[in-house]
Every structure is written in C-alpha cells, then in structure tokens.
Amino acid sequence: MNLSRLGLPHLGLGVGLRSPHYPYLLQHQPDVDWFEIISENYLDSQGRPRAVLEQIADRYPVVMHGVSLSIGSCDDLNFDYLTKLKSLARFVNARWVSDHLCWTGIAGHNSHDLLPVPLTEETLRHVTERVKTVQDVLERPLVLENPSTYVTFACATMPEWEFLGRLTEETGCGLLLDVNNVYVSSINHDFDPVEYIESVPHDRIVQVHLAGHTNMGTHCIDTHDGPVIDPVWELYKLTHDRTGGVSTLLEWDAQIPEFPVVHQEVLKARRYVGEIDVDFESDENNSVPETSSGRILIPQPAVFVSAEVE
Amino acid sequence: MEPQRLDAIQRWMMSVITHPQGIEEGISETTAQREFAITPGQIEDLILPSESCSSFQRLSVYNNAYFARLIECLTSEFPTVKRIVGDDSFAAFVVAYLRQSPPGSYTLGDLGRGFAASLRATRPPRKPDNPGPDWADFLIDLATLERLYADVFDGPGEERLPRLSAESLRLVPPHQWPHVRFEFAPSFQLARFQFPVQETISQIRSGEIASIPDPIETFLIVHRRDYIVRRIPVNAIQYRLLEELHSGKPLAEAMGASMEEMRDDELVSPVELQNWFYRWTAAGLFIGVSTDEDH
C-alpha cells in the first residue's frame, strides 16, 4: 500500500456510508475501496446502524468524519464526546478521524451547522490549543476539513488557506480538502479557488472530498444532492497534481440515488488522475444543478438515520 | 467599534441566526445587542458583503438553514405528525419547540427527545363541553409513539442475546410457576395511548389517507427484533400483567396485582394465560426466566 500524508494510507476512491444504501451494501458487498461514516450517527447507536457498521468495517477500510466536534467554539470541549469518538475509532479500526474547521454552537446550544470562524490571530491561537487537546485525547492526528461558508467577518486578517496552513504547522494536524467546498466558498467570497488550492500545504492533505452543490445565481449552497460539476473536477485534478494523489471520497446526502450511481460518480475521478480512461453511460447530469425545484435547499450536514418499523 | 472577540462574535451570531423572525429582528434582540450594540444598518461592521450578496443575504443562509435542517430532521422522526397537521403547522410546532428547548446534544438523534413533551406543554386548553381526549391529545400520542420507535430502533436490543424458547418454559416445573420471574428483552417497551395511534401510523405509512380516529384507550408493546421495530397490541389486562412482570414481580404476584380489579367475566383461564406467554415468548419479548430457587 502506498503510504503518504502524515503516514496515512492512500485508500483509493470511497463513498460516504448512508443508511438508504445499507440493504444494497449488505446484499451485494460491492467492490468499493473504502467508506467514510458520519461519526455522530454511530457513537451511541445500539441498533441497526451500529450492526451494519460492524459488518462494513469487517470488509472495508473505514474513516470517521464528524460534524459536532466544534473545534472553533468558545464552549469547553466535550470530553464525553471525545471519549466516545476514540472508542468508536477503535471499534471500526478507523484509518483516521476528521471533522471541520468550524464551530457548531455556543453556550450549550448546538446549531447542527458548520459555522464559520473569524479568520484572526485570536481564533488561530484558540483552535490550535483545542486541536492539540483533541489529538492528545484521541492519541492520533486530527484531520480538519475546510467547510463551505456563506459569510466572511470584517475582523478577518487572513485567508482560509493561510489559516489552515499555519494550523497544520502549529499542531501537526492533517487536512481534508473538500474541493467542492473550495469552489462553493470561492463563489460566495469572490476568491480564486486555484489560488486556494495552490496555497494550502499539499503535504498535509490526507483526504479529498467531492460533492455536488446548488448554484443559486448569486451564491452557491453546499447541498450534496447531485453529481460533481466540471469546475470542481478541474480543482480535483489540480489537487491530485499537487499532492500526487490522496484518498478521495464522494458525499451524496440529499436526493440520494441508488448506490451504484453514487459509486460510479466517484469512479469518474479516475479520468482526472490519468489512471484509467473510463467510459460512463451518460454525463447529462454533470451540469450545474437547477437553482430551485420547489424544495427547500439545506446546506449539509443534515444526515439523520430514521427508524425502521415493521 | 470595540475589538471583536471570538466568544462575543459566536454568541452574537448564534443569537441572530436562530431567531425565528429572521436576521434583522435577531440583530435587534437583547441577546445579540448585549454582544454588539449595532443596528441592522451597521451589520457590515461585523459581516462583510460579497460582490453579489449583501451581508443580510449572506447571514440569512445560516438563519434559513438552521430551521430548515432541524425541521427536516424532525420530519424524518415524526412523519405522521407532519402528515396529520400539514407542513406549515408542523413547522410552527418545531419552531416553538426549538425556541423552548434549543438543541444541545452532539447528535441529531437527540433532537426529537422532548418534542411530545413540548406539544403537551403548549397544548390549547380543553373545551369545557368536551373534557375527553381531543385532537391535541391525539397529536401528543402520535409524537410519543414515533419517538418511541426511534428510541427502540437505536437503543439496546437483544439481537446478540440468547432468546427464551418455548421449550425452556415447558421445563419450568408446575409448582415453580407462581415464582417465575421473566427477564425482558432490553428493547421491550410498554405504551399506553388515548387513541389507536399505531393504526394511524400504519395507514399513513401504507399511503392511506388517515383522519383523526375516535378516542379509545390503546395498549401497545413496542420492541425490536432483528434490528426492526415491532409492535404488538395488547389488552388492558395483558398490559397490566406485563407492567407488573417488567417491574420484577414473580408471576403469581404480578397476576394478583394486575387482575385484582377484574370483573368475573374478565377472568383469564389458565389455557388463555399459557397461550399469551407462548405467544410473547415466540415474539422474543423474554430472554430468560428465573425462580426464587435460582437466586
């Protein structure tokens, strides 16, 4: 296996594990390189999600991706949560544990959103200390993702790529570079996504995320509800060129199609890394998603496991 | 403007984006004003505009997302409540619930834990001419059962435990039966409702149009088997008997307690009683039996 980036392996092309796909995965055991789970959906589960995860982890490499660490919050870290995270990581032999550069709440109120941090020296010091603490508890490097964001703060003193670069230097943490998020934020904040990708520390990128989003005309929303658009694939290719290739994962969280459709979407990555020339039946969906179809557009995350009742 | 500290920005932003009337009202509310005493016109002191969107528009993405996301999650957990009351009323119930009980847990699985209690606390007064169960009770029952499904689905289960077999029951010597205590499967839950809400849920899940049924006291076992939530309707006597047994009483004592108020025509024959236990055992409600001698 080709080891790289913090000594962590290049797992190949993976898919986010989502409950609508459980029956298909258990029945067909498809040839997938690896799966990423939403940690919070399994931390306390004593039912079917945990049982399915156990079977998946027996067969495939698993990476844990969280949405509630709230590394940027001024609330105290939740050590009960961290202990459960560590325990689950041991249970599934997680190859690494990731979350987002964000805060999710304050004063005990969790928005369940990935809220942006003001990119200041104060925030950098604050997040650095907390990343070090989390890494001490987990006894492994934390991997942090750049979120899609929709506001910038007047007090910001540096771009996100600089913030992330300095954070990795100070803490030794890894980066999960979501190239769709880079694209979404670049539209929302009027920056050059190529400059972003050229500027982050490539040797710290452990993993790449791909996803679809919705272009609202004036801004983009990270909806994870469709295929990856061509400009994002181009950013992916650039990332691949700069990193030499890292584990790549597709997220599809709303209007989730059958598993083979999701899997095929991530396999398109092969085109952009010169690995193989794959023919796909149709790329008709590869356009920018419509701005509205009457439904409410929700920025991710909104991943919830519903009960199965006889 | 004073230096913008990280904690103050977070408290301000949280207050603003979770305001049900929107960003402008959120900025003017006391909790936000305590952090930054700005008017809506001064928002650019904190949040920059982009080339295409104003600061208001940008911050509104988070305001819209907060409610849309949590409404969607609660829709997944309470689909029948939503179908019965309609989208707008359901959203109003959820917004009131979130204002009363802001989410604090790291998991969305906890989000709906207090929803039924919120409906109960905010229910309209009963009409003096109709003191019996009303539509508000019906909604509370529905929400209670849908939450129970979620709890049983992802809570402790018996899938990895040995099940009690009918054969094991037959091995209990007859003289020991009065002293038998049943060990219940971890997922076992008993529920009591004023309406037959499990029927309403089934109707809606199967695509039938459901209306508010007539009130009738309803008793239900909710448990899990092979990771799927199962429901078993029971009558009042069975409910009381299971309740006593679940509290740890031996069979004779449980029967005495559950049947002491029964009329003669309600008495249960030994054969009938035996059938109940064989049926419940086959359904997987028990994982063991013990007698005082075992202890």
B51: three-class secondary structure by DSSP:
coil
Cα separation, B156 vs A213, in Å, equals 37
Which of B174, B196, B195, B116 lies closest to B150, judged by CA?
B116
Question: How many residues comprise chain A?
Answer: 310
- The answer to whether A81 contacts chain B (CB < 8 Å) is yes
CB B121 within 8 A of CB B97: no
CB B239 within 8 A of CB B219: yes
Rounded mean pLDDT, A30-37:
98
| Candidate from B51, B59, B103 with C-beta closest to A190 | B51
Rounded mean pLDDT, B62-85:
96
- Token pair, residue A142, equals 């934390």
Say if the Cβ atoms of B62 and A113 lie within 8 Å: yes
A23: three-class secondary structure by DSSP:
helix
Rounded mean pLDDT, B54-64:
97
Cα separation, A5 vs A245, in Å, equals 10
Distance from CA of A45 to the nearest CA of B (A): 5
Give every CB contact of residue B211 below 8 A, 6+ residues apart in sequence. Answer: none
Q: What is the pLDDT of residue A308?
A: 82
CB B73 within 8 A of CB B108: yes
Q: What is the pLDDT of residue B2?
A: 66
Residue A234 clears pLDDT 90, i.e. is over it: yes
CA distances from A141 to A80, A145, A164, B87 (A): 19, 13, 15, 44
Say if the Cβ atoms of A109 and B17 lie within 8 Å: no
Say if the Cβ atoms of A188 and B53 lie within 8 Å: yes
Q: What is the pLDDT of residue B1?
A: 64
Residue A24 clears pLDDT 90, i.e. is over it: yes
- Per-residue confidence at A295, pLDDT binned at 50, 70, 90? low
Say if the Cβ atoms of B7 and A309 lie within 8 Å: no
Q: Which residue has the higher pLDDT, A56 or B209?
A: A56
Residue A286 clears pLDDT 60, i.e. is over it: no
Say if the Cβ atoms of A219 and B149 lie within 8 Å: no
3-state helix, strand, coil in chain A (%, to 5): 35, 20, 45
ipTM of the complex: 0.92
Q: Which amino acid is at A96?
A: W
Q: What is the pLDDT of residue A80?
A: 98
- The answer to whether B113 contacts chain A (CB < 8 Å) is no
- Per-residue confidence at A58, pLDDT binned at 50, 70, 90? very high
Least confident span in A54-68, A139-153, B239-253, B258-272: B258-272
Cα separation, A38 vs A303, in Å, equals 8
B207: three-class secondary structure by DSSP:
coil
* Beta strand residue intervals within A146-227, DSSP E: 174-178, 205-211, 214-215, 220-221
A46: three-class secondary structure by DSSP:
coil
β partners of residue B225: B228
pLDDT digits (tens, 9 = 90+) for A96-106: 999 999 999 99
Rounded mean pLDDT, B36-48:
95
- Per-residue confidence at A279, pLDDT binned at 50, 70, 90? low
Chain A environment of B102 (Cβ under 8 Å): 108-110
Q: What is the pLDDT of residue A200?
A: 98
Whose tokens are 């809570």? That residue is: B155
Rounded mean pLDDT, B103-130:
94
- Per-residue confidence at B268, pLDDT binned at 50, 70, 90? confident
- The answer to whether A154 contacts chain B (CB < 8 Å) is yes
Give every CB contact of residue B132 below 8 A, 6+ residues apart in sequence. Answer: B215
Cα separation, B167 vs B174, in Å, equals 14
- Per-residue confidence at A4, pLDDT binned at 50, 70, 90? low
- CA Rg, chain A, in Å? 18
Cα separation, B266 vs A297, in Å, equals 56
Query: How does strand B218-225 pair with strand B228-234?
Result: antiparallel
Q: What is the pLDDT of residue A276?
A: 60
Residue A292 clears pLDDT 70, i.e. is over it: no
Residue B236 clears pLDDT 80, i.e. is over it: yes
Say if the Cβ atoms of A47 and B154 lie within 8 Å: yes
Chain B environment of A299 (Cβ under 8 Å): 61, 65, 69
Interface probe for B, chosen from A40, A112, A153, A225 (most Cβ of B below 10 Å), is A112
- Per-residue confidence at A290, pLDDT binned at 50, 70, 90? very low
Q: Which residue has the higher pLDDT, B175 or B95?
A: B95
Distance from CA of A150 to the nearest CA of B (A): 6
CB A100 within 8 A of CB A65: no
* pLDDT mean across residues, chain A: 92
- Per-residue confidence at B4, pLDDT binned at 50, 70, 90? confident
Residue A40 clears pLDDT 70, i.e. is over it: yes
CB B212 within 8 A of CB B138: yes
CA distances from A42 to A56, A176, A307 (A): 13, 21, 14
Say if the Cβ atoms of B106 and A68 lie within 8 Å: yes
Q: Which residue has the higher pLDDT, B291 or A150?
A: A150
- Token pair, residue A119, equals 């990119």
- The answer to whether B4 contacts chain A (CB < 8 Å) is yes
- The answer to whether B55 contacts chain A (CB < 8 Å) is yes
A272: three-class secondary structure by DSSP:
helix
Q: What is the pLDDT of residue A274?
A: 78
Q: What percent of chain B has pLDDT over 90?
A: 79
* pLDDT mean across residues, chain B: 93
Least confident span in A58-72, A230-244, B1-15, B179-193: B1-15
**Chain B residues 122-181 within an 8 A CB cutoff of chain A:** 149-150, 152-157, 159
Which of B85, B215, B68 lies closest to B139, judged by CA?
B85
| Candidate from B47, B58, B149 with C-beta closest to A307 | B149
pTM of the entire structure?
0.92
CB B280 within 8 A of CB B172: no
- The answer to whether B88 contacts chain A (CB < 8 Å) is no
